[in-house]
Amino acid sequence: MSFLQILLQLAGGVGYTIMVTVACSLTGVVVGLGVAMLSRIGPPWLRGLLGAFTFIFRAVPVLVLLFIVFFGLPNAGLRVPPLVAMMLSLGVIAGAYLAEVFRGAFDSVDASEVLAAEAMGLSRFQILRLIEIPQMLRFAVPGMINEFTTVLKYSPFAYTVGIPDVMKEAMSLSATTLRGVEIYLAVGIIYFLIYKLLVTGVWALEKRTRIPGLTG
Amino acid sequence: MTLLSVQDLKLEYDGRIILDGVSFDLAQGELKVIMGPSGSGKSTLLRCLNRLATPTGGRVVFEGRDVLGPGVDERALRQRIGFVFQNFALYRHLTALQNVTLALRHLRRMPAAEADERALRQLARMDMQAHAHKYPAQLSGGQKQRVAIARALAMDPAVLFFDEPTSALDPLMSREVVNILHQLRDERVSMLCVTHDLYLARAAGGRVMFLDEGRIHAEGEVDELFGPNADPRVRAFFHQELRQAQTAQPIDAAQPMDQAQPAGPSGPAGLAER
Amino acid sequence: MASFLALMLEYWPQVLSGLGNTLLLAAVISVTGLAGGVVVFYLAISGGPLRRRLTEGYISFFIGTPLIVLLFLMYYGLPQWGLKLTPFTVAVIGFTLNVAAYNARYLMTAFRGLDPDELQAARAQGFSDLQVFQLVILPQVMRLSVPALTNQVILNLKDSSIAFLIQYAEFFAQMQDLAIRSFRFLDAYLVAGAVYLALVSVVVVAARWLERRYVLPGVRRAR
Ligand SMILES: Nc1ncnc2c1ncn2[C@@H]1O[C@H](COP(=O)(O)OP(=O)(O)O)[C@@H](O)[C@H]1O
Ligand SMILES: [Mg+2]
């Protein structure tokens, strides 16, 4: 079995790896946006609560939360499908980190522009939607890329809950061929390529929506 | 006819008195200038009038209605007042045109084509139609100012507020701002302009009030206030501003500098700091 | 939950040794990862363009590939070539390579924010490149990076749980064992999560203290 054949064999799991990464990243963006928005416009007590949420979910290891959700919740009568378990663990943790990224990016929005929008008669929610979020998302691009990369790197945990991703393919291949070194080297190369693709893709998207004078 | 009437306006913040009983009227079509040193409460005064700040006492009547009362629709009030900020405060993610159409689209719910047409007319009024599709970062200070004014005019406000319209501009641009003020005055736009720029206060040509430590100390036509019988506080302010202007900028002594908002590296304040 | 806590009490030596192993691994890789990061950072900024490209490639590769792959390569792959390493050795080597890449990147970021004139001045005084690195660059860059470096320690503590997947008997592995013994999975993992939360909180408090103490006054971190 040549190295190329190993690569081709592993490629079967790439779709699942990408699916897990995208699903968890999207979960993270939704959770992060929700938390950052609510702590920007919500009452102080809610801000405190959301602060506790981000602290806790940034302190618990992904693997531990994944096991709580996938292997633990059935004890409480709640069965969660593997992909959803990944989203509720890796995705929500990414959301806690992204909430911090978004909070920092919100702080980069010029206060005088928010004041001008208020003076214009826009409502608080309109200001958020029309002024703050479009600018904030552009400032947040580098932080989002970091976080999406992290999600990709933790996505192999999916094998522990039975998702047939690249890692799972590698483990079964390694068990039958006893060529672990080459196989895991190939796995590393595949992840690195996906990583490069991801980073290039996000920057390309950023470039298409770039505005002079507004970068993260 | 009186458009705006301010009576005994007071504002205390943290036990500090910022506004100490300000009263004045602005008539329909009038241009009034409030002049005063940095920290005298000019910006705060303007913000009280459209409820961006909450005064602790006094009365404000705008278009016959009490502005400070409990039942006032703040957002409707703000849509009647065009506000031009000191540093322009253009939305950086929107083009000049989009800056002008934003309120038309989202407050007036105007269809895109109609809003564009109307915004382009306002930009043309400010001689900016050629730059309609540029972003703020691609415009000069003077151009940003024109867009900011077009943005304020687009909603057909009853009055325009200017907060230090020259402080972020070089002397040549300051002159253009005066020309714009004159143009709008000739079009019978009601305007209230606060500044500490002596040149602007003098050249604008309206009635001038002098605000210091939250109180109006003198009021009159340009000639009275700038004449030999001026109030001693006003004279002290002139001396101080002129001295600063001379050390900062020997070429155009009429242009004082703003310490609170230093100009960019090429501006007069930048030179003075070196 | 109460009965699970009773079980934990019964097996406390096992739990405690797991906790010890977790802290040991996190501490060791925090130190070796920092040392490795400084070395990689020095190699990246001191050599010619080729060396810079190589070190940047190293950083990029280890930031772009999952740590678990490297651990599996060494733990499950190398024995097939006749080289059998203990889980602890594998974990230390794998984490060090990975953490060093991250730390080097933080240091590089801080380095870009330094005033180039200051480095010129040091060279003009006659210091050698290594001396400039030791006396001028490193002290500033390290202080500027305190928040990022302490954050990495927190990541190390949490990520040490990955070593459970290569049979290292750390805390999470012990909790897993208790979970299977008692069939109380939810209780076991919740307790594990709470313990990590407590450990991280301690590091956060220590990090705040370190930041207050060592961040240079007047020197701002580059964005
Ligand atoms: N947000 C604020 N918080 C506390 N004090 C303020 C605030 N804004 C303004 N002030 C104070 O109110 C006074 C008037 O400020 P301002 O209205 O901005 O003056 P001006 O516009 O004439 O320079 C100043 O002494 C200033 O320090
Ligand atoms: Mg002001």
Given phi > 0 = left and psi -120 to 50 = alpha, else beta, which region is C84?
beta
DSSP per residue over B114-159, as a string? HHHHHHHHHHHHTT-GGGTT--GGGS-HHHHHHHHHHHHHTT--SE
Question: What is the residue type of C176?
Answer: Q
pLDDT at B173 over 80: yes
For A201, B182, B196, the CA distances from B179, given in Å and listed in that order, are 49, 5, 18
Q: In what order do the strands lie in the sheet with B65-66?
A: B16-27, B2-13, B57-62, B65-66
| Contact (CB, 8 A) for B103 and A116 | no
pLDDT at B257 over 70: no
Neighbours of chain C (3+ CB pairs under 8 A): A
Residue listed under structure tokens 């991703």: A165
H-state helical runs in chain A:
3-11, 14-41, 44-59, 62-67, 82-86, 92-107, 111-120, 124-127, 133-139, 141-154, 166-177, 180-208
pLDDT at C219 over 80: no
| More confident site: A209 or A54 | A54
Question: Percentage of chain A with pLDDT > 90?
Answer: 88
| Contact (CB, 8 A) for B122 and B84 | no
Q: Give the span between the Cα atoms of C162 and C156, in whole angstroms.
A: 10
| More confident site: B231 or A94 | A94
Query: In the numeric block, which tokens belong to residue C210?
Result: 């370190």
| Contact (CB, 8 A) for A6 and A76 | no
pLDDT value for A216: 65
For B142, B164, B225, C68, the CA distances from B167, given in Å and listed in that order, are 11, 6, 21, 58
H-state helical runs in chain B:
42-49, 74-79, 96-106, 112-125, 141-153, 171-186, 198-204, 222-226, 232-248, 268-273
pLDDT at A7 over 60: yes
Residue B235 lies in a domain: yes
Chosen for mutation from C62, C68, C71 (greatest number of chain A CBs closer than 10 Å) is: C68
The mean pLDDT of chain C is: 91
How many separate domains does chain B show?
Answer: 1
Q: Give the span between the Cα atoms of C39 and C133, in whole angstroms.
A: 11
Residue B214 lies in a domain: yes
pLDDT value for B170: 85
Q: Give the span between the Cα atoms of A71 and C186, in whole angstroms.
A: 7
DSSP per residue over C29-87, as a string? HHHHHHHHHHHHHHHHHHS-HHHHHHHHHHHHHHHHS-HHHHHHIIIIIGGGGT----H
Confidence of residue C216 (pLDDT cuts 50, 70, 90): low
Neighbours of chain B (3+ CB pairs under 8 A): A
pLDDT at B261 over 80: no
Compute the Cα dihedral for B136, B142, B146, B148 and give only its sign. positive
pLDDT value for B267: 32
Confidence of residue B229 (pLDDT cuts 50, 70, 90): confident
pLDDT at C76 over 60: yes
Which range marks the domain in which residue B166 is found? 2-256
pLDDT value for C90: 97
Query: In the numeric block, which tokens belong to residue A211?
Result: 């505005």
Confidence of residue B263 (pLDDT cuts 50, 70, 90): very low
Bridge partners, B219 (sequence order): B209
Q: Give A116 to chain B, closest Cα distance, Å.
A: 6
Chosen for mutation from A120, A209, A211, A214 (greatest number of chain B CBs closer than 10 Å) is: A120
Going by CA atoms, what residue is nearest to atom 3 of ligand 1? B13
Q: Mind listing the pLDDT tens digit for each residue in B104-143?
A: 999 999 999 999 999 999 999 999 999 999 999 999 999 9
Q: Which helix (H) or strand (E) holds B15?
A: none
Q: Give the span between the Cα atoms of A121 and A123, in whole angstroms.
A: 6
Among B144, B237, B125, smallest CA distance to B187 is for: B125
Candidates B9, B10, B13, B44: which one to mutate for ligand 1, based on the most atoms within 8 Å of Cβ? B44
Confidence of residue A197 (pLDDT cuts 50, 70, 90): very high
pLDDT at B249 over 80: no
Q: Mind listing the pLDDT tens digit for each residue in A11-28?
A: 989 999 999 999 999 999
Going by CATH, does the domain composed of A3-208 fall within 1.10.3720.10? yes
The mean pLDDT of chain A is: 94
User: Which ligand approaches the C-alpha of residue B47 most closely?
Assistant: 1
Pairing of strands B159-163, B16-27: unpaired
Question: Percentage of chain B with pLDDT > 90?
Answer: 66
Confidence of residue C118 (pLDDT cuts 50, 70, 90): confident
Going by CA atoms, what residue is nearest to atom 9 of ligand 1? B44
Q: Give the span between the Cα atoms of C195 and C102, in whole angstroms.
A: 26
Among C49, C28, C27, C42, smallest CA distance to C142 is for: C42
Find chain B residues with C-beta within 8 A of A122's C-beta: 75, 103, 106-107
pLDDT value for C120: 82
Bridge partners, B62 (sequence order): B4, B65
Q: Give the span between the Cα atoms of A174 and A185, in whole angstroms.
A: 12
What lines the ligand 1 site, CB under 6 Å? Answer: B 13, 18, 36, 38-44, 260
Residue B81 lies in a domain: yes
Q: Give A121 to chain B, closest Cα distance, Å.
A: 4
Find chain A residues with C-beta within 8 A of C159's C-beta: 61
| Interchain touch A–C (≥3 Cβ pairs closer than 8 Å) | yes
| More confident site: C221 or A62 | A62
Going by CATH, does the domain composed of C2-214 fall within 3.40.50.970? no
Closest-lying ligand 1 atom to the alpha carbon of residue B47 = 17
| Residue B207, domain CATH | 3.40.50.300
Q: Give the span between the Cα atoms of B84 and B67, in whole angstroms.
A: 20
Residue B215 lies in a domain: yes
Q: Give the span between the Cα atoms of B155 and B81, in whole angstroms.
A: 9
Q: Give the span between the Cα atoms of A13 and A8, in whole angstroms.
A: 10
pLDDT at B152 over 80: yes
pLDDT at C16 over 70: yes
| Contact (CB, 8 A) for A24 and A148 | no
pLDDT at B188 over 70: yes
Q: Which of B190-194, B222-226, B247-251 has the highest mean pLDDT?
A: B190-194
pLDDT value for B52: 92
Query: Counting every residue, how long is chain B?
Result: 274
Bridge partners, B6 (sequence order): B24, B60
| Contact (CB, 8 A) for C86 and C79 | no
Query: In the numeric block, which tokens belong to residue B128?
Result: 């900016």
